[in-house]
């Protein structure tokens, strides 16, 4: 048996309905090339599907049953992974119109019947060398890790396909969540294996009639013939299952689809809208797939309006800081508060923080807003201190996005010092998502703030998988239990977990705030466990500055 791993032969596909002509071509080529045979265009396409990476050139007859040469050329032209293979037409016709038609449909050259062996071999060899020489240019078109189209070339080929085809197409988006965190935890080889595995799974699920592109480190796009929503949901599930078998099984994928795209709209715009849909998924618990439909379109335009108003809203002081008290169980009075942002727009009315905060995080504007809240809080603290009003520590939230700011710690220190606020009165709330997003930067920044005398509170504790890791690596003063625990205290397992959390916190000399407490029963249960503070509607909703002052006076 011939050792194919040592063979340097290229593979040529002969598509010809006449058996004698197929055998003649195979006899001419077989010494220099491995030859595959197909008796018509349909069989040729089937062979290409299986051998497309090995086939270097196609010799194609035009007049064939089942699928003729013109139909074969058209099919190849609509299949991005196949249309780079050079095709030489074998013909007994001297009609110029036939040659022009073949060239227009993607043919590269012609040889005439009866066959001249020297001419056949020279033209085949020349065409293969030309294709392989151009592979250096082809690599510029493609992502170096996964070999799918790079960003710009995906746009070029996708737009060309949309303009030249009557097929209805969709845009499908696959995003790897927290890729930077995965890259910091795993070797480059493992991450690359993950990327290659995702592309392979996409190719298997979508087939060769789709165009694939990697538009950013973590985002892949597919231009694919139209499918029903349930097909995309099934494909999404298949891709998630495929990831579980790869080098990083804890990788999280989110997906979206923009159905029935308009070929007149730039592909970059279509991809941006599909990206908006996939970004929306990560804020919806238990959901991994979203479709850009009329309902989402309305929400998308509303979100664009919100983003358009955000800067002017900050300048015009439309944002108001509310304070939600933290009730100190041992002292039976307010022991602190959390500064929360509220926004009432002149045209849009009240906008929920749950709606605008994710948008601001995606745009990066959240950092300006967080600095605004910190400054407003320090201004209020200064006023309360100067007037002799009751004053308690107030915590301000830092978004995961804030940790991209090169001088985050210095800015917070500067704001507090501007109003001469004792640092122990300004608590800093951080979340585990910031830790997973950029671990080392997060650790260094929080340590600077802690060393500067600010109390550090870890928010949403228990909602992420890295909680205990954070406790081991960071100086935490207060844990804020995610409201999930308050809502599930009747579960024996959850209660056992809570007891262990309180035990760990006590041994580490960390105080605990229970969030989302809405009933006396919940409050009593947390009191019995040794909880330090309660925050929730049972004691108080978020209050305006004036209402909070009145609350403290009581």
Residue pair 13/58 in contact (Cβ under 8 Å)? The answer is yes
Banded pLDDT at 284 (limits 50, 70, 90): low
Summarised one tens digit per residue, pLDDT across range 72-91 is 988 888 776 777 789 998 88
The mean per-residue pLDDT over the stretch 484-503 comes to: 88
> Between β-strands 33-38 and 10-15, what pairing exists: parallel, antiparallel or unpaired?
parallel
Adjacency order of strands within the sheet including 219-225: 211-216, 219-225, 169-177, 252-258, 289-291
pLDDT of residue 33: 93
- Decide which of 6 and 203 is more confident: 203
pLDDT of residue 295: 81
pLDDT of residue 4: 35
> With 0-12 CB in 10 A as exposed, 13-18 as middle and 19+ as buried, what is 526?
buried
Q: With a cut of 50, say whether residue 6 has pLDDT above it.
A: no
pLDDT of residue 128: 87
Summarised one tens digit per residue, pLDDT across range 503-551 is 999 999 999 999 999 999 999 999 999 999 999 999 999 999 999 999 9
In sequence order, which residues have a C-beta less than 8 Å from that of residue 215 and are 6 or more positions away?
A: 151, 154, 221, 271
The C-alpha atoms of residue 514 and residue 533 are separated, in whole angstroms, by 6
pLDDT of residue 336: 95
pLDDT of residue 1: 29
What does the DSSP 8-state code read for residue 239?
H
How far is the first Cα of the chain from the last one, in angstroms, to the nearest whole number? 93
pLDDT of residue 204: 94
- Decide which of 438 and 321 is more confident: 321
Banded pLDDT at 5 (limits 50, 70, 90): very low
Least confident of 32-41, 332-341, 491-500, 516-525: 491-500
Banded pLDDT at 393 (limits 50, 70, 90): very high
pLDDT of residue 509: 93
Q: With a cut of 60, say whether residue 465 has pLDDT above it.
A: no
Measured between alpha carbons, how far is residue 339 from residues 321, 336, 416, 475, 532 in Å? 6, 10, 15, 22, 19
> Between β-strands 426-431 and 455-461, what pairing exists: parallel, antiparallel or unpaired?
parallel
The mean per-residue pLDDT over the stretch 175-194 comes to: 88
Summarised one tens digit per residue, pLDDT across range 123-177 is 898 888 877 776 555 556 888 899 999 988 899 889 888 988 889 999 999 999 8
Residue pair 172/255 in contact (Cβ under 8 Å)? The answer is yes
Least confident of 138-152, 188-202, 401-415: 138-152
The C-alpha atoms of residue 494 and residue 77 are separated, in whole angstroms, by 59
* φ and ψ at residue 59, rounded to 5 degrees: -100, 120
* φ and ψ at residue 286, rounded to 5 degrees: 80, 5
Q: With a cut of 70, say whether residue 474 has pLDDT above it.
A: yes
The C-alpha atoms of residue 280 and residue 289 are separated, in whole angstroms, by 9
The C-alpha atoms of residue 204 and residue 50 are separated, in whole angstroms, by 12
Percent of the chain at pLDDT exceeding 70: 94
Average pLDDT over the chain, rounded to whole? 88
CA atoms within 13 A on the CB side of 113: 16
pLDDT of residue 97: 67
Percent of the chain at pLDDT exceeding 90: 55
Summarised one tens digit per residue, pLDDT across range 340-389 is 999 999 999 999 999 999 889 888 999 999 999 999 999 999 999 999 99
Nearest to 92 by CA among 123, 61, 127: 61
pLDDT of residue 378: 98
At 26, is the secondary structure helix, strand, or coil? helix
Q: With a cut of 80, say whether residue 407 has pLDDT above it.
A: yes
Q: What are 457's two structure tokens?
A: 């509170």
pTM score > 0.75 for this model?
Answer: no
Domains along the sequence of the chain with CATH: 10-133 (3.40.50.2300), 140-292 (3.30.70.270), 307-553 (3.20.20.450)
Q: What are 87's two structure tokens?
A: 């095709």
């Amino acid at each position: 048996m011939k050792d194919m791993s040592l063979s340097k032969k290229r593979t040529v596909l002969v598509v010809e309905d006449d058996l004698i002509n197929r055998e003649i071509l195979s006899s001419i080529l077989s010494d220099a090339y491995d030859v595959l045979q197909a008796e018509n265009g349909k069989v040729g396409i089937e062979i290409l599907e299986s051998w497309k990476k090995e086939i270097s050139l196609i010799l194609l007859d035009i007049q064939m049953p089942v699928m003729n040469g013109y139909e074969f050329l058209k099919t190849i032209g609509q299949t991005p992974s196949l249309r780079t293979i050079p095709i030489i037409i074998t013909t007994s016709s001297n009609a110029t119109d036939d040659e022009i038609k073949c060239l227009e449909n993607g043919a590269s050259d012609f040889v005439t019947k009866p066959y001249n062996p020297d001419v056949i071999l020279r033209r085949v060899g020349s065409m293969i060398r030309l294709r392989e020489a151009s592979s250096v240019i082809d690599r510029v078109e493609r992502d170096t890790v996964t070999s799918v189209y790079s960003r710009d070339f995906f746009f070029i080929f996708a737009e060309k396909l949309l303009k030249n085809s009557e097929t209805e197409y969709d845009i499908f988006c696959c995003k790897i969540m927290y890729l930077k965190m995965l890259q910091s935890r795993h070797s480059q080889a493992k991450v690359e294996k993950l990327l290659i595995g995702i592309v392979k799974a996409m190719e298997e699920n979508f087939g060769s009639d789709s165009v694939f592109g990697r538009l950013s480190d973590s985002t892949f796009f597919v231009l694919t013939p139209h499918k029903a929503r349930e097909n995309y949901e099934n494909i999404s599930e298949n891709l998630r299952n495929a990831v579980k078998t790869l080098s990083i099984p804890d990788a999280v994928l989110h997906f979206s689809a923009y159905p029935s795209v308009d070929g007149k709209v730039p592909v970059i715009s279509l991809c941006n809208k599909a990206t908006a849909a996939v970004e929306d998924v990560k804020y919806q618990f238990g959901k991994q797939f979203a479709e850009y439909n009329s309902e989402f379109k309305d929400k998308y335009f509303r979100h664009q309006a919100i983003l358009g108003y955000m800067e002017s809203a900050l300048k015009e002081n439309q944002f108001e800081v509310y304070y939600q008290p933290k009730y100190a169980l041992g002292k039976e009075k307010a022991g602190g508060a959390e500064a929360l942002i509220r926004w009432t727009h002149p045209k849009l009315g009240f906008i929920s923080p749950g709606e605008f905060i994710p948008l601001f995080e995606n745009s990066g504007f959240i950092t300006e807003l967080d600095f605004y809240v910190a400054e407003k809080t320090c201004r209020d603290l200064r006023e309360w201190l100067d007037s002799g009003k009751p004053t308690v520590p107030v915590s301000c939230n830092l978004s995961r996005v804030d940790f991209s700011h090169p001088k985050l710690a210095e800015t917070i220190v500067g704001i507090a010092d501007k109003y001469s606020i004792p640092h122990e009165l300004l608590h800093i709330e951080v979340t585990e998502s910031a830790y997973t997003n950029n671990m080392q930067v997060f650790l260094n920044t929080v340590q600077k703030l802690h060393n500067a005398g600010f109390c550090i509170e870890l928010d949403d504790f228990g909602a992420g998988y890295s909680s205990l890791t954070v406790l081991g690596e960071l100086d935490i003063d207060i844990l804020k239990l995610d409201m999930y625990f308050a809502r599930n205290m009747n579960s024996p397992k959850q209660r056992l977990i809570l007891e262990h959390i309180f035990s760990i916190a006590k041994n580490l000399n960390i105080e605990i705030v229970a969030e989302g407490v809405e009933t006396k029963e919940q409050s009593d249960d947390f009191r019995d466990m040794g909880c330090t503070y309660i925050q929730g509607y049972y004691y108080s909703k978020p209050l305006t500055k004036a209402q909070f002052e009145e609350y403290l006076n009581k």
